[in-house]
Structure 1
Amino acid sequence: MCRIVVFLLIGLLTACSQPASQSPDVIDASAVQSQRMNGPATATYLTTLYARKFPNCNKVDSQPAFLCSGVMIRVTEKDPNNTYKVWDPSPTSIRNGGINFSYLRVDSNFGRLAWDNANGYILYPVLERPATTDQLQTLCIYPMDSHGWHRSSTAVCVAHAAFPEGGHCQDANILTGEQFKAAWDKAPDNKNKRQCDFDVRDDRNTLAGPAFFQALQAKILLGAAGFREWNDVLIKTWPAGQPNKLPILAFFYLGSSTDPTQLADAKYNQRDFYDSTNPKIIVPIIRVELAASPTGTATFTYAAADQEITQ
């Protein structure tokens, strides 16, 4: 996959030659990249990202859909001692080289977040992140919870030692959602550990976009089982201590949670991020409601009362 900076240059050149009426999966990122959005605009933008059912970005197979659509979401737990930052890599991520997210989209819903946690943060899509933030590298996606802690302590997107079929899907000749479902259904036990990952690394070029889209198709085909569990997206571990360079779009909490500490933790994280950045950055808190069914709709809401800091 060509470097994203090349994509942006190509996108700009292409835009100059296109008619004014563009197809809905061709993205004009300039409005988003120019500045960070306020809270209401962020909620609207998340709703838009969630609704984009793109097979790829800009009709280019080397641009997987996560670059311009969907909601890349990570659950976190606040340090009770208030020492580490939730946006920095954990010791586990430093050892194995990857940070876990889930990817939520209207055509790839799930009804639970990892570990049943109810707060965390959401990233900008790569092609629409603020220009001053880093380009994070997405490595692979598992249609279901990867059980990564059982796979390796020193690497991500790898097979469990006992289940070699659980490496990259292309190495097992699994290239479509249908083939993934067949392998999942055939597995006699340990389905999560046996599942392969769809490899979307940059160097896969035009194979990366179709691989990511087929991972979304696999989750749909798994039906109720797919909806009961989150998917796993591994992003390459980034350096700690650089909050201004992180493309964090929002902190969030689940509105369905009855635990008041979830919003309290989101408020703490918003304040902590603001205090840690220079120049100061206010990242809004968004209330997320997951879909109630595979064909339902998640919602993203901004409320002034939820904010520790307001713009």
Structure 2
Amino acid sequence: MNRNLALILMLVLSLTGCLPPEQTQVKTDNEIGVASALSSTAQTGPQVAADLTAHYNDVRVNCGSASMPAFLCRGIMLRSTVPSTAYKAWNPSPHSQTSGGVSFSYLSKDSKFTGLVFNQKNGFIFYPVLSRPSGTRQIEVLCSFPRDGATQLRMAPGCGAHPYTPDRSRRCQTIGITTAEGWLANRRENIWNVCSFDVRDAMNHLAADSFYQTIRAHQLGNFFAGQHDYIELVLATWPQNIPKELPMQAFFYLDGGLAGAQYDQKDFYDSTGGKVLPIIKINLPRTANADAQFIYNQADQVK
């Protein structure tokens, strides 16, 4: 059996729970090659909108085993940015280059929010790891917060202690917090007692539940309509100026952000020698019972 067929078989078995956790854990770029091979064809704009909608509506607890957190296969990992001629939107910021972490928001049917950090209006979306295109990097998710984690003030890479309450804002597992209920009880003692759930590959069979507790705390804490009520993920910082290697699926915008998304789309096209990523409009839910919408409009595209 050749390597590609073997990898495909391994993925199928892992998604049906037939492999032990240590064999299903996503660890390296080579080990994830099977998922990449399944996503080697570029998607059209309407296909991207449909794919995002499907990932948003998917509410699986994990991606097939206790070692595979839900963000590997479902939900929307997005990063809001500010368009500028001074830098590329997809490059890690100077702070991220120093800290080793890049902040994203996580949006799904079971983890909704109504607005982005700093009221920003556009940005880009990463594929879930298990559906990223061939030739792109696996970017590891390091930790998650049920709401904004004030990560710029934390110890590197943004998952460490917050200076206001350093003893009770460290890695959740380090201070004995492994459940949504425990996370909320800790925060009730002091609003800065916001610890990070460790979701790294090294968590192995504990990884999926760690992220699921993030989602549960988001729900139980009724984090939805506040200014900072979005799940925050910290991803490992990637090198500068590698747009072709990033698992980017689309640029997006909210109302008022189209011009920024159009600037980024053209900049990406020019920086990659002609690669086109579609622009998708996201209508975030306005009530807890509403859902986000992902809309492709040909008139929005400049490339």
The alignment's TM-score, normalised by the length of structure 1, stands at: 0.85
Q: Which letter does structure 1 place at the counterpart of 2:87? A: Y
Within the candidate set 81, 94, 98, 1:95 is matched to: 98
Corresponding residue of 2:271 = 276
Q: Which letter does structure 1 place at the counterpart of 2:204? A: N
Corresponding residue of 2:294 = 300
Partners of 2:58 and 2:7 lie apart in 1 by 19
Partners of 2:8 and 2:88 lie apart in 1 by 31
Seen in structure 2, the aligned counterparts of structure 1 residues 110 and 38 have a Cα distance that, compared at 3 Å, is same
Corresponding residue of 2:198 = 199
Work out whether residues 109 and 295 of structure 1, in 8 Å CA contact, stay in contact via their aligned partners in 2.
Answer: no
Deviations 1:135-157 (A, max 9, x none): 001000011111122224x5320
List gaps (5 residues or longer) in structure 2: 1-5, 19-33
Corresponding residue of 1:69 = 74
Partners of 1:7 and 1:88 lie apart in 2 by 31
Residue 296 of structure 1: how far off its partner (Å): 1.7
Corresponding residue of 1:249 = 249
Deviations 1:101-143 (A, max 9, x none): 0000101111111111010000000010001100001000011
Corresponding residue of 1:115 = 118
Counterpart mapping for 1:113-152 below 5 A: 113-152=116-155
Corresponding residue of 2:55 = 49
Q: Which letter does structure 2 place at the counterpart of 1:76? A: T
Partners of 2:288 and 2:13 lie apart in 1 by 39
List gaps (5 residues or longer) in structure 1: 1-5, 19-27
Seen in structure 2, the aligned counterparts of structure 1 residues 221 and 196 have a Cα distance that, compared at 3 Å, is same
Partners of 2:67 and 2:15 lie apart in 1 by 18
Partners of 1:179 and 1:303 lie apart in 2 by 44
Q: Which letter does structure 2 place at the counterpart of 1:111? A: T
Q: What's the secondary structure of 1:86's corresponding residue?
A: coil
Q: What's the secondary structure of 2:168's corresponding residue?
A: helix
Work out whether residues 70 and 104 of structure 1, in 8 Å CA contact, stay in contact via their aligned partners in 2.
Answer: yes
Percent of aligned pairs sharing the same letter: 40
Partners of 2:128 and 2:16 lie apart in 1 by 23
The alignment's TM-score, normalised by the length of structure 2, stands at: 0.87
Q: Which letter does structure 2 place at the counterpart of 1:67? A: L
Q: Which letter does structure 1 place at the counterpart of 2:210? A: A
Regions of 4+ moved over 3 Å: 6-9, 12-18, 28-32
Corresponding residue of 1:222 = 221
Residue 197 of structure 1: how far off its partner (Å): 0.6
Corresponding residue of 2:283 = 289
Seen in structure 2, the aligned counterparts of structure 1 residues 91 and 226 have a Cα distance that, compared at 3 Å, is same
Work out whether residues 108 and 294 of structure 1, in 8 Å CA contact, stay in contact via their aligned partners in 2.
Answer: no
Corresponding residue of 2:29 = none
Deviations 1:153-172 (A, max 9, x none): x5320011341211111112
Counterpart mapping for 1:147-162 below 5 A: 147-152=150-155, 154-162=156-164
Residue 239 of structure 1: how far off its partner (Å): 0.5
Partners of 1:221 and 1:17 lie apart in 2 by 29
